[in-house]
Amino acid sequence: MSLNLRVQGLSIGYDSVPILDGIDFELHGGEMVALLGPNGAGKSTLMRCISRALDPSKGTVLFNGREAGSLSAGEIARQLAVVPQDTGVDFDFTVEEVIRMGRFPHDRGFGKKKTEQESIVLSAMEITGILPLRYRSAATLSGGERQRMVFARALCQEPKLLLLDEPTANLDIGYQWELLDIVLRLNQEKKVTVIAAIHDLNLATLFFRQFILLTGGKVLAIGSAEEVLTEENILSSYGVKASIFRHPLHGRLQVSVGKESMRPMQKRSRDEEKRVHVIGGGQEALPVIEALWENEYSLSLGPVSREDSGYHFAGFFDIPVIENPPFSGISDQMYQEHLKLMHESKWIVLPPISFGEGNLRNLEAMSEAITQGIPGIVIGEQVEERDFTGGKASALLKQLRELGAVFVKDTAAVLNRIKKQINKN
C-alpha cells in the first residue's frame, strides 16, 4: 500500500521568528516531488516536521489520514525513511552495521525471515555501490561515501515515504545521477512517495515531475516544472533574474540565472557605434554571440525561434532579437525587420549555420545590406556539408564573397577583423 501525505496549516518558529508559516499541500501515494527554495526557506525544517523530528507549533501531518502525532516511533519508522543533510556517524560501527540498522523497525514481529533480511541488506549495499566498503569503519568514510551508506540504510527500511534532504550535496556528478536514478526506480517500481530537497534546479527537472517551491516559510508555487519554474517565481524566491528554456537534447526545462543588477550595468556599457548583427542562432552562433558580448560590442540577433539558445541569451541581456516561429519560413515582414536590424549595425556576422529552404532569405537580406555599404563577415569557408538546398545556399554565399563579404575561419578571426577596422577608422 502506498502512502498519502497531507500537510495541513503547518507552522513553526524559533525564538518568535517564523520558519514555516501555514504550509499546506497534499501528495498522493507514489508521487515524486522536488522541494525547492533558497537557503533559509524552510526546506529542512519541513522535512523534520514531516518525520516528527520536530513538533510544529500549529498544523498537522497526516499519513494515510492518520495524524503522525498519534503514531508510535516504530510505526513512523516503518512508514518513512530519512536521508538527512548531516550524515555524520557518532560511533565506530562498520558500514554494514550502520546499514543493517535500517531493518530495526521490522525486527520485532514485523519482519521477514533471516535469509530475507540478509538479502535486503545486501541488495541495498549493491544498489548504492557501497558493498566493497561493508567492513570499513563508518568513521573513515568520505562525505560522499557516508551519503551513500545512509541512503542504503534508508533503502533497508523499505519505506513507503522517502525524505531526502539535499541527497546529492556531497556526491560527484556520476553518483548524483546514480542516486537519483535509484530513487526514480523506487518510485516507479515500488510506488514509494518521494520528497527531495534539491538545490540544483536543472538536475531536479531531469528526475522530478512535481515541484514545491518555498520562500520565506511559505509555499510560493506547487505543480509541474512549467507551473513552478517561471522567471517570476525564481526572481521572487531566489532574488535573481532567470532565463527559462528547454534543453536542446532532452527537452526538459532548464534555468540560467544571473544577478538582476548586472543587466542594466552591462546594457549601459554597450557602444552603439560598435553594433554587430549576428544572423541566426543555435549552437553554431552562440560562441560568436558570447565572444562579441564579452568584448563590449552591442548586438542584435535573428531570426531565431523562441526555443533557440540565442533567443534566451538575447532575452536575458535585453538584446534586440527577431523571433521566427518554429519550422516557418521568412515572411516579407520578417525580411524587412531583419534588414532594418542590419542597417542599424556596423557589421553583419554570419555564423557557420546550416542552410535549408526556410532560411535562404537570410542570405538574400545579407546580400542586400552589403550592397548598401554594411560590411559582412562569414565564418567558415567550407559550406557544402551545410548546404541542404541543392546548391542554392552555396551560390548565395559565392555572391556574398563577390560583393565583398570577408570569409574567416573562426570567432577569433571575427574579433580581429572588426578590431582592425575600428583601429583603421
Domain membership of residue 253 (yes or no) is no
pLDDT score at 379: 94
Instruction: Tell me how far apart the alpha carbons of residues 162 and 227 are, in angstroms, rounded to a whole number.
Output: 24
Q: Does residue 355 sit within a domain?
A: yes
Q: Compute φ and ψ for 81, nearest 5 degrees.
A: -130, 150
Residue where a domain stops, chosen among 224, 252, 283: 224
pLDDT on residue 108: 56
Range 38-41, long-range pairs (CB < 8 A, 24+ positions): 38/215, 38/237, 38/238, 38/239, 41/214, 41/215, 41/216, 41/217, 41/237
Hunting for cell 498544523 — which residue is that?
Answer: 59
Q: Is residue 250 part of a domain?
A: no
Alpha-carbon span 421 to 193, nearest angstrom: 63
pLDDT number for residue 72: 83
pLDDT of residue 240: 87
Judge if 82 and 202 occupy the same domain.
yes
| Residue 321 resides in a domain | yes
> Comparing C-alpha atoms, which of 390, 422, 112 is closest to residue 298?
422
224, 243, 276 — which closes off a domain? 224
So what's the pLDDT on residue 88? 65
Closest Cα to residue 201, out of 215, 191, 187, 212? 212
CATH of the domain at 141: 3.40.50.300
Phi and psi torsions of 68, nearest 5°: -60, -35
Find the domain containing 60 and state its range.
5-224
**Do 10 and 128 share a domain, yes or no?**
yes
State residue 179's pLDDT score. 86
SS3 138: helix
pLDDT in tens, the chain (425 residues): 678 999 999 999 877 778 999 999 999 989 999 999 998 899 999 999 999 888 899 999 999 989 988 888 888 888 898 888 766 666 778 999 989 988 887 765 444 567 778 888 998 898 888 899 999 998 888 878 888 898 889 888 888 999 999 888 777 888 888 889 888 988 888 888 999 999 999 999 999 999 999 999 999 999 999 999 999 999 999 988 888 888 766 778 889 876 443 444 344 456 777 899 999 887 788 889 989 988 889 999 989 888 787 888 888 788 999 988 877 788 899 999 999 999 999 999 999 998 988 889 999 999 999 999 999 999 987 788 888 999 999 999 999 999 999 999 999 999 999 988 888 76
Which residue type occupies 45?
A: T
- Residue for cell digits 558493498? 131
Same domain assignment for residues 284 and 216: no
Q: Which tens digit of pLDDT belongs to each residue from 351-383? A: 999 898 888 999 999 999 999 999 999 998 778
Is residue 146 one of the residues assigned to a domain? yes
Residue 162 located in a structural domain: yes
Domain match, 219 and 271 both: no
Number of domains, the chain: 2
Residue 379 CA to residue 364 CA, distance in Å, equals 17
Q: Which grid cell sits at 285?
A: 552562433
| pLDDT for res 178 | 85
Check which CATH number belongs to the domain holding 343 and give it.
Answer: 3.40.50.720
Q: What is the pLDDT of residue 112?
A: 55
Residue 231 lies in a domain: no
User: Do 176 and 91 reside in the same domain of the chain?
Assistant: yes
User: Do 198 and 309 have their domain in common?
Assistant: no
Residues 6+ apart with CB under 8 A from 325: 305
**10 domain-assigned:** yes
